[in-house]
Amino acid sequence: MKNTWPSLAPLLRSDAQGLLLAALYLDPEREFTLTELANFSKTSVASVMREVDRLVEAEYLLERRVGRSRLVKVNEDHRLIKAVQKLVLYSYGPQVVIHRLLQGVAGISQAFIFGSWAKRLNGQAGPDPSDVDVALVGTLGMRETTEIASRATELCGREVNVMTVSSEEWANPKGSFWRTVKEGTLVPIGSDGEH
């Protein structure tokens, strides 16, 4: 059953709002265009503009204009910055955190979040995910995999399980585990619009 409310953070209005806040609050020094935020939050520029307008008016965000572009970033002096960061890191942060940890790591052709966290992001009802399951497609060693899982767990505030699978096995799964993962709900990491 698909929820009409965000399963990862029911305190928020929508997953799009959660993803927008994650993009902004997990990279507070960076300025974003509205198009970048729309791509990351998988919503329209018009929806992002309405959300940004509210947050700028309430002084959660700062904005500046360069020509016709509107650039926004977190107001790091706002009293609630740490609270908002903590909320979005726990709920929507795994996608951002894991992508950043994978940057510059050789041997990965694709990466996905699967399992309960991916299902909640895609609107499936259920309890708060106790962990985040990650599939790395490629040739990554056990030591690197363990380091990524450990660091992601530390940053996200919940257990992150990282598993690797060869490109060949991912393309044509022989066992039931990877076939089930591949046929289930997947959230790509590092695709278009993500940091």
94, burial (CB in 10 Å: exposed 0-12, middle 13-18, buried 19+): buried
Global pTM? 0.84
Kindly tell me the sign of the dihedral angle through the C-alpha atoms of 59, 65, 71, 76: negative
Rounded to an integer, what distance in angstroms lies between the CA atom of residue 135 and that of residue 8? 20
Rounded to an integer, what distance in angstroms lies between the CA atom of residue 28 and that of residue 10? 23
Residue 108 — left, alpha, or beta (φ > 0 → left; ψ -120 to 50 → alpha)? Answer: beta
Q: Looking at residue 129, what DSSP letter applies?
A: P
- Sequential pLDDT tens for the chain (195 residues): 455 667 788 788 888 899 999 999 999 999 999 999 999 888 999 999 999 999 999 999 999 999 989 999 999 999 999 999 999 999 999 999 999 999 989 999 999 999 999 999 988 889 999 999 999 999 988 999 999 999 999 999 899 999 999 999 999 998 899 999 999 999 999 754 444
The single residue listed with the structure tokens 């970048």 is 36
Residue 133 confidence (pLDDT): 98
Q: Is-contact 18 8, C-beta < 8 A? A: yes
As beta bridge partners, residue 167 has: none
Domains and CATH numbers, the chain: 15-91 (1.10.10.10), 94-188 (3.30.460.10)
Record the tokens describing residue 179, joined without a space.
Answer: 């076939």
Q: Is-contact 132 117, C-beta < 8 A? A: yes
Q: What are the pLDDT digits (tens) for 53-63? A: 999 999 999 99
